[in-house]
């Protein structure tokens, strides 16, 4: 009877340790269920497999939304107040409508018609 008891304890420890560690590794990438089963069935090899998996689609979308929110909070305050703006066709940053050169990516852009900058020496 004691041999069966030890086997049950070893199996229980394997489920807790193998599946639990796999689930913890998978939780970082939104794959808790896969992590549990790979860890339970394959042990440390399953842990490696789970660690090498890419994030799930929902985790990838959540990370992308978080990055967009962070970028919006970290963007510098607008210095173009009072003047019309538009998006740069190359880097999608807001630039003045009359700009001929994007201040973010440095590429040439066509100014919006009717928003040509006036020069003081243009009439001379």
Q: What is the pTM of this model?
A: 0.49
Over the stretch 62-85, which tens digit does the pLDDT of each residue have?
888 888 887 777 766 555 456 788
* 119 φ, ψ (degrees, to nearest 5): -110, 145
Angle at 11 between CA 42 and CA 47, to 5 degrees: 25
Q: What is the pLDDT at residue 80?
A: 45
Over the stretch 33-44, which tens digit does the pLDDT of each residue have?
999 999 989 888
CA distances from 124 to 114, 120, 121 (A): 22, 8, 5
């Amino acid at each position: 009877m004691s041999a069966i008891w030890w086997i049950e304890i070893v199996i229980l420890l394997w489920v807790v340790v193998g599946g639990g560690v796999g689930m913890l590794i998978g939780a970082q990438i939104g794959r808790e269920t896969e992590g549990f089963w790979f860890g339970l069935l394959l042990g440390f090899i399953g842990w490696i497999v789970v660690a090498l998996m890419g994030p799930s689609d929902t985790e990838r979308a959540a990370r992308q939304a978080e990055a967009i929110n962070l970028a919006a909070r970290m963007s510098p305050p607008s210095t173009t107040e009072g003047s019309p703006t538009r998006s740069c066709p190359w880097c999608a940053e807001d630039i003045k409508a009359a700009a001929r050169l994007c201040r973010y990516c440095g590429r040439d852009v066509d100014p919006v018609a009717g928003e040509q900058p006036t020069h003081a020496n243009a009439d001379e």
